[in-house]
Amino acid sequence: MKTTVYKFSLFSFIIICTLFYNSSVPSHAANSDQLLVGYENNKSKEAIIEESSQVVHQFQNIPAMLVLIQPDKLEYLHENYEISYTENNLDLELTYDKSNKLEDHPINDTVIEQWNIEAIGAPSAWQESLTGENIKIAIIDTGISDHADLAISDGISTVDYTTSWKDDNGHGTHVAGIIGAKQNKIGIVGVAPTADLFAVKALDNNGEGNLADLVEAIDWAIQQDMDIINLSLGTSHDSQTLKEIIKKAYSSGILIVGASGNNGSESSSVSYPAKYPEVIAVSAINKDLLIESFASTGTEVELSAPGTEITSTHLNNLYAKFTGTSQASPHVTGMLALLKQKHPNLSNRRLREIIADNSLDLGELGRDSFYGHGMINYSQSDIKPPAEVSGVKVTNYTSNSITISWDNPDDKDLAKVNLIINENAQTSVSRVDKSTFTFFDLAPDSLYEIIIKSVDSSGNESEGFKISTRTKEEKVEDNIRNNQKEVNPKEVILKEEKPLEKKREESEESEQSNKKPIKNSQEKDTKKTPAKEIVKDNVRESKKKEENLKEVSIQDSSSPAKSPPSNGRKVSEEMNTPVKQKQALQAAPKENDASTIREIKDKSKKDNDITTNFKEIVAFLTIFLELFERFIGKLLSFS
């Protein structure tokens, strides 16, 4: 009986211990059966839900979910539905030096010396009242604990074992202090002391986690319209799900800062997610502004920041000194908060360019794989736009073009001016060019607004000088002049009235070219009959008489009414040639020009009508004679 009781008690103890262990073990330790599944459409999504043993989480901003599913079910989904990818729910960890020794300092009225804050020039920004006011920063880490030197706006937990975003490791609290510890004359001060800090707990008390919890944390940050995300964590494994959520966050306008990692002994060792192009990868430097040996390096490194012996807030209202790229990354996050406050309307891409262009270059000249563009330094930043252009005026304008000129400002670093017409970027003019530009291909009689913005070598752009002007109205005469030359009406009439001899020759040539003999298939001889030749001779004689009649009519109508012949010769004799006709017409009094032209035109029209009718009669007779000839020939053949 005792033995039985002992065995039962031992069995109960094992069961209780197992249950206690399972309830206390962080969720990432039991993720071996969980899969991240991406899908193409709602039909595939519904199929995944139906075939899965359990849907652990559905993400809001990307088409993916975390599920428990049997291998055969997964194979079925791949064969029958549009599944984008499947991947294991991999582990990830913090990016700080694990050899760190905790050096706690109690809170007191003494301000702790911070070499890191002075090195990056943060006090220069504070003098300009830049403190990160109203900038929302999501610190995705181990959470953030309560501290007298910190003000936390809100938070969330994506880990399974707790719903609290409070820090149970200390790493997240340390990162939060570097970014935004309060400027309250005690302890330390962060780079952006009035920024809005949000605690997003995605790692456990050991500083470890998994991809699904990290993706869920970024998903939440997108929904909450965060301005900046800090990721002082990493993994050596690429992930499609992580890549998709990072892209979504960046396309939403969020700045993402990530620690490069602490695997400096390996080449090209930058960790994910810092390795993604959407993330600003940060390496660590020491007090001598030299790269730390532990810092992961590679072409993805974009900036460097202090990461050695950094004092910041810690658990239980204390301060601690840590080393690692985890400490370098929040310096960049805080600096971006200052710049975001300075330029709230600039895009995440533009702010990224500014902080890089104005960093303190270290190592090799230009960007390199150790320091990136260099160490961030506000005192090195030039974010003041150049002065505006002056003396803007319109120097010329037509129905389709506008030419303007201006005077460039005296800024030494002026690089160019940007020209914008009706809100459409037109071109850039370098400072070395003349201060003038012509806009072509414009609409006639249209109002145009032109903006000229000066730009310095740091990319700072002025608000712009505006000027409005209108193109000329396009006239009908302009269209005629562009398409054809003006013609004198006299020349048109004289050109139309060709010499009579020339007209007769052209008429005969036209008739001969249009006539084609109609041959009989049985006849080899193409000679015309004498009867036909007689008819043609009569036709030609009639034509000559008609043309002589026209010549007399034109000569009579062209005679000046008030100017008698100077040498007693008749007008009809003077008008025998086209040249004489033109000379006579030009010599006539101007007041009779219009009536003379009308008489010539009327006469010419009548003559043309007679000629046209006569030609039609001749053509008809010619065809009739030919048909008659063929008819007589056939009658003769029958006989």
The predicted-structure confidence for 272-292, as pLDDT tens digits, reads as follows 999 999 999 999 999 999 999
Q: Are 404 and 385 in contact (CB under 8 A)?
A: no
Helices (H) and strands (E) in the chain, counts: 17, 24
Using alpha carbons only, give the angle 22, 23, 28 rounded to the nearest 5 degrees: 70
pLDDT category at 598 given cuts 50, 70, 90 is low
Q: Is the peptide bond before 273 cis (omega within 30 degrees of 0)?
A: yes
Between these two residues, 266 and 141, which has the higher pLDDT value?
A: 141
Are domains 106-380 and 391-482 of this chain identical in fold?
A: no
290/195 Cα distance (integer angstroms):
29
Between these two residues, 131 and 474, which has the higher pLDDT value?
A: 131
Fold of 106-380: Rossmann fold (3.40.50)
- Mean per-residue pLDDT of the chain: 79
551 pLDDT more than 70: no
Extents of the domains making up the chain = 1-30, 31-89, 106-380, 391-482, 503-638
The predicted-structure confidence for 28-43, as pLDDT tens digits, reads as follows 434 547 899 999 999 9
Task: Output the pLDDT for position 554.
Answer: 44
461 pLDDT more than 70: yes
Using alpha carbons only, give the angle 409, 412, 415 rounded to the nearest 5 degrees: 75
Q: What percent of the chain has pLDDT over 70?
A: 68
578/498 Cα distance (integer angstroms):
7
Least confident interval from 160-174, 186-200, 594-608: 594-608
The predicted-structure confidence for 37-88, as pLDDT tens digits, reads as follows 999 999 999 999 999 999 999 999 999 999 999 988 988 988 889 999 999 9
609 pLDDT more than 60: yes
Fold of 391-482: Immunoglobulin-like (2.60.40)
Task: Output the pLDDT for position 350.
Answer: 94
Between these two residues, 634 and 117, which has the higher pLDDT value?
A: 117
Token code pair at residue 603: 């006469």
Task: Output the pLDDT for position 132.
Answer: 98
Indicate the burial class of 382 (C-beta count within 10 angstroms; 0-12, 13-18, 19 or more).
Answer: middle
Task: Output the pLDDT for position 615.
Answer: 74
- Domain 31-89 sits in CATH at 3.30.70.80
Task: Output the pLDDT for position 624.
Answer: 83
471/125 Cα distance (integer angstroms):
47
Task: Output the pLDDT for position 562.
Answer: 42
* Residues designated catalytic: 141, 171, 326
The predicted-structure confidence for 358-373, as pLDDT tens digits, reads as follows 899 999 889 999 999 9
The predicted-structure confidence for 408-430, as pLDDT tens digits, reads as follows 998 877 888 889 998 776 666 76
